Amino acid sequence: MHTFVTHRRIPAHKPPRTSNTCAEKILSLLLVTASVALGFACVAALMQTFQQSISVKSLPIRLQAKAAEEIMHGTAVTTTSATGGLSEPSADEIARLRKAARLLDPELMEQVPDKFDSEIKNPCWSASSGEFRCLPYFYITGMFHAGAVSLAEKLRQHPDVLWDVCSGCQFWGEEGKSMAFYLDNMKEASKFIKQSPEKKVLFDGSPSTFAFYWAAAGKAHRAYAEAMKPCYQSCVELLNVQKVPVATCMTEKCYNASLAADAKRAVEAGIDWDTEAHNPLLMRGVYGDRPPKMILVARDPIARLYSAFHGYPHYHNKYGKSSAGFTAYVEDQVGAFRACAKDYGEARCALYFEALGHREEVVYFHADQLMRGMYGLFLEIWYRFIPASNWMVINSEDLFQRPKETMAKVVDFLGLTKVDDDALARMANAGRMSSFTNGQEPIQPKARQMLTELYAPYNTKLAKLTGDVRFEKWNEQPQN
What CA–CA distances, in Å, run from 76 to 61, 169, 172, 273, 290?
15, 42, 34, 15, 37
Residue 76 confidence (pLDDT) above 90: no
Residue 367: which pLDDT band, with cuts at 50, 70 and 90? Answer: confident
Residue 305: which pLDDT band, with cuts at 50, 70 and 90? Answer: very high
Residue type, 300: D
Determine the pLDDT at residue 225.
86
Residue 355: which pLDDT band, with cuts at 50, 70 and 90? Answer: confident
What CA–CA distances, in Å, run from 132 to 159, 184, 204?
21, 10, 18
Per residue in 171-226, pLDDT (tens digit) is 999 888 999 999 999 999 999 999 999 999 999 999 999 999 988 898 999 998 89
SS3 of residue 470 by DSSP = helix
Q: State mean pLDDT over 27-47.
A: 34
CA-angle at 115, arms to 111 and 121, nearest 5°: 105
CA-angle at 432, arms to 426 and 436, nearest 5°: 160
Determine the pLDDT at residue 463.
97
- Cis peptide preceding 294, ω within 30 of 0: no
Cα 176 to Cα 230: distance, rounded to the nearest angstrom: 19
Per residue in 382-424, pLDDT (tens digit) is 999 999 999 999 999 999 999 999 999 999 999 999 999 999 9
Q: State mean pLDDT over 247-269.
A: 88
Residue 22: which pLDDT band, with cuts at 50, 70 and 90? Answer: very low
- CB 125 within 8 Å of CB 116: yes
SS (H, E, C) 130-195: CCEEECCCEEECCCCCCCHHHHHHHHCCCCCEECCHHHCCCCCCCCCCCHHHHHHCCHHHHHHHHH
Residue 474 confidence (pLDDT) above 80: yes
Determine the pLDDT at residue 176.
86
Determine the pLDDT at residue 183.
97
Cite the DSSP H helix spans in 254-357. Answer: 255-268, 279-287, 301-311, 313-319, 323-344, 346-352
Per residue in 100-137, pLDDT (tens digit) is 999 999 999 999 999 999 999 999 999 988 999 999 99
Q: Which of 440, 437, 446 is nearest to 331 (CA)?
A: 446
| Span of 34-43, 253-262, 296-305, 358-367 with lowest mean pLDDT | 34-43
DSSP state of 469: G
**How big is the chain by its Cα radius of gyration, in Å?**
22
Give the pairing of strands 293-298 and 124-126. unpaired
What CA–CA distances, in Å, run from 326 to 9, 111, 334?
20, 44, 12
